[in-house]
Amino acid sequence: MDLLKSPLYSKYIQSNAKLVNFAGWEMPISFSGLINEHESVRTSAGFFDISHMGVISLRGVNPKEYIQKFFPTNLYSFSKNQGLYTVMLNDKGGILDDLIIYDLGQQEGEISEIILIVNASRYQVDFSWINNNLNTKNISISNAKKDKVLLALQGKDSFKLFEDWIQSSISHIPYFGCEYKIFKHISQEEKIFFSKTGYTGENGLEILLSKKASINLWDFLISKNISPCGLGARDTLRLEAGMHLYGQDINEETSPYEAGLGWLVHLENNHEFFGRDFLEEQSKIGIPKKLVGLSIEGKAIGRKGCEIFKGEENIGIITSGSWSPTKQKAIAFAYINTSHAYLNNEVQILIRGKKFKGYITKRTFYKKDI
């Protein structure tokens, strides 16, 4: 089967990017090298083509009323020009996807628009789940990305760079805020969507725009000596920042409570949502396993699937692991039996047939300077 390609695929070729199959897309794993790209984002800025991700539009009069049942988080806790990180659950409380919901407010008369930016591997699942369970003709659902490009500009210099490109200030926009507007020097007609969000632990923006405008932005950033970055650096950056990766750290068999995402579950809101009964029960009886951070001694890297022991007892398994370029040590996420999931607990990680010492930590290994 042919792999899907970003509208910016020609830029990958021109840049001699190393390409891989990611969720059915031919995407760059690196351009100049993972360490260089990682450090660029941590020290100044870097940009990522994330066009493999899905963008779903929901339009109608008060769409939140109809889609609240898909999410355990109170959708009325955010308003126009704001975003919200949350999870979508199945009826057993398992995580179908983690995503960001944006409220674009009223677009035409009383018609409001909500957009969801979802994981590439889950787009079809998410779209079908919502479409099959909306049970109303008052809300339309559509693919909002189509042939557009989704770019992530990340790092402490990202806001200034974007302001230089759009020739306008974004200082009034809060963290997780968004806008959808025309910048006439870029295009007289095209509305560009952007938000102060990202997946790296740094200040950053995610931008949805046409192929023509995205090439304009790509060339602008290259002219400012900003590095294009691949999925390799995106993975090490998000792991350091304590951010989940769907399919590894969370899936349909894990609940928000087990994944450390209980703060997204608003049982006190009393709204009905898929999986509520299961989560109410789990909130009472507790969880059998918990997602934790791991710091591993030495140079060995614990990868997905590595088992974790306390003495001779198998107590868990690694879901994500890498060398941390920022912290200069091996780090990982792992699901650990709850009775052993306490900070500084010394454990052993089985890596290629040999056990290495490690310690349970908080999941966030890196926080940016304020």
Q: What is the pLDDT of residue 79?
A: 96
pLDDT tens-digit readout, 325-363: 999 999 999 999 999 999 999 999 999 999 999 999 999
Q: What is the pLDDT of residue 108?
A: 86
Q: Which residues face 118 on adjacent strands?
A: 54
- What distance in Å separates the CA atoms of residue 346 and residue 320, rounded to the nearest whole number? 19
State the sign of the Cα–Cα–Cα–Cα dihedral 266, 267, 268, 272.
Answer: positive
Domain locations in the chain as residue ranges: 9-50+147-240, 54-143, 288-370
Q: How many Cβ atoms sit within 10 Å of the Cβ of residue 303? A: 15
Q: 3-class DSSP state for residue 177?
A: strand
Under the banding of pLDDT at 50, 70 and 90, the label for residue 105 is very high
Q: How many Cβ atoms sit within 10 Å of the Cβ of residue 114? A: 21
CATH architecture of the domain with range 288-370: Beta Barrel (2.40)
Q: What is the pLDDT of residue 60?
A: 97
Q: 3-class DSSP state for residue 157?
A: coil
- What distance in Å separates the CA atoms of residue 359 and residue 136, rounded to the nearest whole number? 50
Report CA-CA distances (Å) from 91 to 144, 189, 277.
Answer: 26, 42, 9
Report the topology of domain 54-143.
Alpha-Beta Plaits (3.30.70)
- What distance in Å separates the CA atoms of residue 80 and residue 91, rounded to the nearest whole number? 29
Q: What is the pLDDT of residue 1?
A: 73
Q: How many Cβ atoms sit within 10 Å of the Cβ of residue 348? A: 18
Q: Which residues face 87 on adjacent strands?
A: 98
- What distance in Å separates the CA atoms of residue 50 and residue 195, rounded to the nearest whole number? 14
Under the banding of pLDDT at 50, 70 and 90, the label for residue 369 is confident
pLDDT tens-digit readout, 123-153: 999 999 999 999 999 999 999 999 999 999 9
Specify the higher pLDDT residue, 107 or 288: 288
Q: 3-class DSSP state for residue 63?
A: helix
**Concatenated DSSP letters of 54-103:** EEEEEEESSHHHHHGGG-SS-GGGS-TTEEEEEEEE-TTS-EEEEEEEEE
pLDDT tens-digit readout, 169-192: 999 999 999 999 999 999 999 999
* Overall size of the chain counted in residues: 370
Position 134, amino acid: L
Pairing state between β 227-229 and 289-296: unpaired
The answer to whether 97 and 249 are in contact (CB under 8 A) is: no
| Residues contacting 128, CB < 8 A, separation 6+ | none
Question: Averaged over 23-39, what is the pLDDT?
Answer: 97
pTM for this prediction: 0.97
Under the banding of pLDDT at 50, 70 and 90, the label for residue 157 is very high
Under the banding of pLDDT at 50, 70 and 90, the label for residue 253 is very high
Pairing state between β 95-108 and 82-89: antiparallel
Tokens, residue 105: 């407010």
Residue corresponding to tokens 């198998």: 314
With CA atoms as reference, report the closest residue to 114 among 88, 152, 148, 81: 81
CATH 2.40.50.140 fits 9-50+147-240, yes or no: no
Q: Report the Cα–Cα distance between both ends of the chain, in Å, rounded.
A: 46
| pLDDT surpassing 90 at residue 370 | no
Name the strand (E) or helix (H) holding 163: helix 158-166
Tokens, residue 344: 């500084």
